[in-house]
A and B are shown apart, each in its own frame.
Chain A
């Protein structure tokens, strides 16, 4: 493509405020290793989509394919209905925040943020205005003339965000941007990114291996493992109704009870665990005779006598962990299944169970997962 047309293309892509992207059957092989397998996914206009998974799950490979730095081995990528599979990174014109920020070490804060505008041959006055506004927006006033090495981690992060957003990209890609920050700074930057998403209205695609970050920030979360997309949905849906055991366990601690004699019952189901009937108000369509009950620790309660109207099992207390606001109980059922229950510490002040207790949870909480791994 001649240079002349390329510039026009960049200009046009800038016009579209927020883009929608469709991945159709994307696959990527590195030698004998299949990093991504037949991935199909819609990224909606203006949403905050998080790609979540352990390392090696394919989430970063997919982000690099979106950015155009890596070519997919199969499948295609559509943006706003146009095939962009073969458009190189420099012509896609997306904003990107890299792990470790990748600031230009020889350029000042101002020059770093001005770089994408200079590439687009904006006028000096336009560049000055936009860079000034962006520096203001991310709270870097007074640091304009500093080199990146003179800034703290959080400030470098802000420069990276400003540089990626200053030219009004239709998509912002973020590759584990907070992994180098300490806990407090991380929380602050998460708020900042959330605010920038709302202000710009741009489509954000965010990669992380931190499930709490994913749940806190996203409009939707896509969970990856071994190069496959396992589930995509709103944070609440994937957390409370995971489709598989991996998703259930990756999103947070969960208790798993093997059930027998499971049978559907209207929209719900019943099963047996250690001679107790376990009831579910809702269940997925496909559930076999044997299944696993999955209940988050925060949905379970401890009592000394069996409560009415709840699922309940007996356990003995093995130990407790004090976590400040929460206290976590480590329990074991009669047949040896491990259970963890977190209760507000304030509610437990008058309750000091020593041995056998009742663990209960409402029938609307908890869900069934297929037996086996």
Chain B
């Protein structure tokens, strides 16, 4: 039986109700705080743009997100290539590498990286034992640690749209290029890669938008020394009761992400992002 249009809306109703109660209503509350706390006006928004600390956190967040996006895209492209065009064994291996991190909580993964990267972590211990380095390398509790942890988390999200674009390439187009005498590297760079641009743009936006709101990974691997925007909001609201500023930062972040998503819709159909 096929439901009438009104019937289909009925099926969506629980989700719409949940989104409304759990996201829209609280967000409107946050918006109100940003204009009313500690006193009515747009003072908190002025503070966001004038406060050097807030500004440096925003700039750091943008820098980390850009680096993470580029790193995730490069890694995801290689993984997606093996996943889509590899042999049977390679495909299974790639699938395993994509899915297993998906099933492990973000908290567990952040602590896992800490165990690898910290001063007394596996990497530094081994390198010191092997006599390659004298003192431990600063791999965690700084921006590098945050970037490594976030990139690792976000790679699978970049793999899906890229793999989807790779799958939709007509095999005969690649054969045609070969038949015309093109070398493998020429086919890759002038045919294969350009035909995946849509997937790359979609992946870049997804990773970037996700990265902007990261909280757990930077909090654990940054060790308080490379605070990102989400952590700043947390600090403002829970540690230095400055609800108005925290709320204003949240609102700006949400608007920025909404603008990016609107941009994404122009480049790529939502269905492509899922693969």
Q: B170: shortest Cβ distance to chain A, in Å?
A: 6
Interface size class of B (residues with CB under 8 A): 10 to 19
Q: Assuming the A-B contacts A105-B195, A119-B186, are A69 and B170 also in contact, with contact meaning beta carbons closer than 8 angstroms in the complex?
A: no
Chain B residues within an 8 Å CB radius of A116: 180-181
Using known A-B contacts A106-B194, A119-B186, determine if residue A98 contacts B181 with beta carbons closer than 8 Å. no
Complex formed: what's the CA distance from A94 to B176 in Å?
10
B175 and A119 within 8 A (CB) = no
By a CB distance below 8 angstroms, the chain A residues around B177 are 104, 115
Flag if B183 contacts A3 (CB, 8 Å). Answer: yes
Give the docked Cα–Cα distance between A119 and B190 (Å).
Answer: 11
B181 touching A100 by the CB < 8 A rule? no
Residue B191 lies at the interface, judged by CB distance under 8 Å to chain A:
yes
In the complex, residue of chain B having the shortest beta-carbon distance to the beta carbon of A88: B178
Q: Is the CB of B170 within 8 A of A102?
A: yes
- Per-residue CB contact flags for chain B residues 155-193 toward chain A (1 = under 8 Å, else 0) read 000000000000000101101111111110010001100
What residues of chain A lie closer than 8 Å to B180, measured between beta carbons? 90, 95-96, 115-116, 119, 163, 167
Question: In this assembly, does A290 line the interface, its C-beta being within 8 Å of a C-beta of chain B?
Answer: no
The reply on A230 being an interface residue by CB < 8 A is no
Given contacts A106-B194, A119-B186, contact A91 B181 (CB under 8 A): yes
Q: A103 to B186, Cβ gap below 8 A?
A: no
Chain A residue nearest to B170 in the complex (CB): A102
- Interface residues on chain A, size class: 20 to 34
A106 to B180, CA, bound (A): 17
Q: In the complex, A170→B176 CA distance in Å?
A: 16
Are B172 and A100 in contact, CB atoms less than 8 angstroms apart? yes
Tell me whether A364 is interfacial, beta carbon within 8 Å: no
Is the pair A119, B170 in contact by a Cβ cutoff of 8 Å?
no
In the docked arrangement, what's the CA distance between A167 and B183, Å? Answer: 16
Shortest distance between the CB of B188 and any CB in chain A (Å): 13
**In the complex, what distance in Å separates the CA atom of A100 from the CA atom of B175?**
13
Please tell me if A221 contacts chain B, counting CB pairs below 8 Å.
no
Q: Are A106 and B179 in contact (CB under 8 A)?
A: no
Which B residues lie within 8 Å of A342 (CB)?
A: none
Which of B172, B182, B195 has its CB near the most chain A CB atoms (within 10 A)?
B172
Give the contacting residue for B183; candidates A90, A96, A98; CB below 8 A. Answer: A90
Q: A95-B179, A115-B177 are in contact. List 19 more A-B contacts (CB 8 A).
A: A68-B179, A69-B178, A89-B175, A90-B178, A90-B180, A90-B181, A90-B182, A95-B180, A96-B179, A98-B176, A102-B170, A106-B197, A115-B182, A116-B181, A119-B181, A119-B182, A119-B183, A119-B186, A167-B180
- Closest 3 CB pairs between A and B? A102-B172, A116-B180, A102-B176
Q: Can you list 25 A-B pairs with a CB-CB distance of less than 8 A?
A: A10-B181, A69-B179, A89-B175, A89-B179, A90-B178, A90-B179, A90-B180, A90-B181, A90-B183, A91-B181, A92-B179, A93-B181, A95-B179, A96-B179, A99-B172, A100-B172, A102-B170, A102-B173, A102-B175, A103-B176, A106-B194, A106-B197, A115-B182, A115-B190, A119-B180
List the interface of chain B (C-beta within 8 A of A).
170, 172-173, 175-183, 186, 190-191, 194-195, 197
